[in-house]
Amino acid sequence: SVPVSCFPAVALHRCRCLRTVSHRVPARVVKKIEVTPASGHCRRTEILILKKSGSTVCVDPDAKWFPELLNALQKKNATFNSTASPPTSSATDF
């Protein structure tokens, strides 16, 4: 399962992504996804994907494939956890 977290940028003092990629990241390598909304500390939305290999990739928020990746992971999670109750925190396990 893959957790998705949304962190307010107030806890951060600067942008975490110096550069982003626009190439597709396969769902099978995703361990965790973090989405940080734009704020006073970083003016852009940041999407970080932690891979199962341990490396982190910053994804371009405008990447057309990213919503498809989220949908695929959510469908996989729904099949895997069909009897689980909805999560109550901002982190979602896939």
In this prediction, residue 77 carries a pLDDT of 75
Per-residue pLDDT of 17-67, as tens digits, reads 999 998 999 999 999 999 889 888 889 999 999 999 999 999 999 999 999
In the chain, where are the structural domains located?
4-80
Q: What architecture is the 4-80 domain classified under in CATH? A: Beta Barrel (2.40)
In this prediction, residue 14 carries a pLDDT of 85
In this prediction, residue 10 carries a pLDDT of 46
In this prediction, residue 79 carries a pLDDT of 63
CA distance 93 to 74: 9
48 neighbors 60 (Cβ within 8 angstroms) = no
In this prediction, residue 93 carries a pLDDT of 45
The model's pTM? 0.69
In this prediction, residue 45 carries a pLDDT of 92
